Structure 1
Amino acid sequence: MWGVHGAKKYSKENVTNTLDPEDTQSMGTVVISLDAELAWGFVDFPVLPERRLARAREMWLELLDLFEKYDLPATWAVVGHLFLEDCDGRHPNHPLNAAWFDRERPSEHEELWCAPDLIDTVADATVDHEIACHSFSHVNFQSSRASKSVAAAELGRCHKLADRCGIELSSFVFPRNRVAHRDVLARSGFRCYRGRQPPCWHTDNRLTPLVRAVSGSPLGITPPIVHPRVDEHGLVEIPASLLLFCFEGWARQITETLWADPVVKMVQRGVDQVDGGDGIFHLWLHPNNLINDAGIKRMESVLSYIDQKRGPGLAVRTMETVAQRTVGSAPQQTW
């Protein structure tokens, strides 16, 4: 049975958020957002990545258990098509070309294209997670196929499906983080979105994997602490700070041979920096990034550290809560 999102639950987040804003000016914030998409994240791939999808449903539940273990709320940005119980791949009233939906028709893995049961687990969790929107079919909003009418249709279908379940969508995560059609997003009733990570000095460096590897060392860099802003459409932009699976393969193997997990080290630096400050440390990932037990181990370490540091100087909030506090703050107040 569907839980109704937004119902008041006793959680550390709710206790923290009842404090007077003046008492939290020196309180940093950690936000964790997830791109919950299953196979839809690869709808435009020539071949589906079997390794990423083999345990996708299992890892969704594993992650949910970890958030439950540490009582940490997160923003689950769900692809709207996953709300459907089943689908024949036909969407005659959708302005996208019918070929866009060919991958799901027919499919022997329908549970990767339709997954209301997984959304149900998030809605019914004891932790007060936010269910957000990741478009209806994971179309890149910056692509030539994504006209304003396509964007409006994607958003409208998500609202309709979520409304049936008693869920109000207020936060949006753009597919592939390609931000576009913010005017349509605002008109569709959304309040905030995840913005791009601020550019780093090593962004386009040919040695980027190596630089990122070194960042896992004791001398490494700290991910950016970000600040929300209200854009010209009245939407709150909450930039990303760090993808929790930003590099794997040989770079990870090298750093883990010399030091601990580099991503965990970067998270620890970011959490330490935002603790007692006025900014936001915004982590994000896909549940299907977790392809083995090493991924679970990383997430356990990340969430455990955040839980240890949470206190008078550090809160864990959803995107929705950050947006509410940003819009409700006086102009002179900062995070």
Structure 2
Amino acid sequence: MGRVVISVDAELGWGFHDRSAPPERRISAARDGWATLVELFDEYEVPATWAVVGHLLREDCEPWDDLEPCPCVQSPVLAERARRYAPELVTAVRDADADHELACHSFSHPGFDDITKERARSEVVRSIAAARAHDITLRSFVFPRNRVGHRDVLAEQGFTAYRGVGPARGGSRLRRLLQTTTGRWTPPLVSPTVDEYGLVDLPDSLYLFRFEGWPRSVVESVSEDPVVRLFRRGVDAAAESDGVFHCWLHPNNVVADRDVRRLREILSVLDSRRDEVTLSTMHEVAERASAPETRPVADAEVGES
């Protein structure tokens, strides 16, 4: 019996604070999308790993590294308080009926492959402090924009797992479009491995909003939502093996009724197959992978940033 993991990149305005042309519709919908996800996960009794930007746990700002102003005062995207603070939304996840994991998505959402080790450490330490103030312990990490770096800092600060880059990533937009709409492509199952820092790398299998815009509208007008079809294939594969089917999304993906409909269909698939797969958080998978009798070790990587 395989496992199904859903991770949520919870960032509100922080996901786009450094973008010159941010997707305003998605940013404006992020709070409602967050609440909708909490309700849906509770309705279908599905746990998820919520990777939260640490700054959302705060209610005010302070100088950055005691010298520079907080990045939020420099970004028009974060001008509204509701886009940079959200402790009540994080509390809603913690207090939900579903047994969610609260994880870390850095403090201010920089690319970890493009910052210094000192900045990475500051991002992690600030996140831990913000979470601790709410009696939250962070064990898993999701890299902003999936840009992996400074894994040694995560290990140093007590993290046990991170979401790595899965085999379905990469390739051209056309290739991803063809995978989604044609043939019998199945999202890959992944195997957690223990890296040279002792962290469990749990790669992703499928981004649940990889297929949007007019192509989605065209396909949905004549057939089933293609992402729901891919999700069903991934669950089928997990039911027949001991691999992990790891999906992810953002609250800001939930913009329209059809997005809610997609999620309902996805969660309905899980609900109907819960006797055939195990629904897990990243931390639960990491605990199992770290056990001495089950621990596969990844080849050592070089060139760690």
1:226–1:279 Cα contact (<8 Å) kept? yes
Pairing partner for 1:93 from 65, 69, 72: 65
Q: What is the aligned partner in structure 1 of residue 50 from structure 2?
A: 76
Matches within 5 A, 1:125-204: 125-143=96-114, 146-199=115-168, 203-204=170-171
Q: What is the aligned partner in structure 1 of residue 286 from structure 2?
A: 323
Q: What is the aligned partner in structure 2 of residue 207 from structure 1?
A: 174
Q: Say whether 1:64 aligns with 2:18.
A: no
Q: 1:75 to 1:94 in 2, by over 3 A?
A: farther
1:73–1:127 Cα contact (<8 Å) kept? yes
Pairing partner for 1:124 from 70, 87, 95: 95
- Aligned identity (percent) is 46
2:17–2:78 Cα contact (<8 Å) kept? no
3-state secondary structure, aligned to 2:60: coil
Matches within 5 A, 1:221-300: 221-300=185-264
Q: Distance in 1 between matches of 2:296 and 2:99?
A: 26
2:72–2:78 Cα contact (<8 Å) kept? no
Q: Which runs of 5+ in 2 are unaligned?
A: 298-305
1:29–1:279 Cα contact (<8 Å) kept? yes
Q: What is the aligned partner in structure 2 of residue 16 from structure 1?
A: none
Tell me the matched-pair count.
297
Q: 1:63 to 1:250 in 2, by over 3 A?
A: same
Pairing partner for 1:40 from 14, 30, 41: 14
Q: 1:79 to 1:332 in 2, by over 3 A?
A: closer
Deviations 1:159-192 (A, max 9, x none): 1111111111000000000000001110011000
Over the residues paired in the alignment, what is the CA RMSD in angstroms? 2.1
1:244–1:263 Cα contact (<8 Å) kept? yes
Q: Distance in 1 between matches of 2:71 and 2:80?
A: 17
Deviations 1:228-281 (A, max 9, x none): 000000000000000000121122122213320000000000001111411000
Moved more, 254-263 or 66-75: 254-263
Q: 1:332 to 1:295 in 2, by over 3 A?
A: closer
Deviation at 1:65, TM superposition (A): 0.3
Q: Say whether 1:109 aligns with 2:68.
A: no
Deviation at 1:54, TM superposition (A): 1.7
1:104–1:110 Cα contact (<8 Å) kept? no
Deviation at 1:93, TM superposition (A): 2.0
1:94–1:150 Cα contact (<8 Å) kept? no
Q: Distance in 2 between matches of 1:134 and 1:195?
A: 13
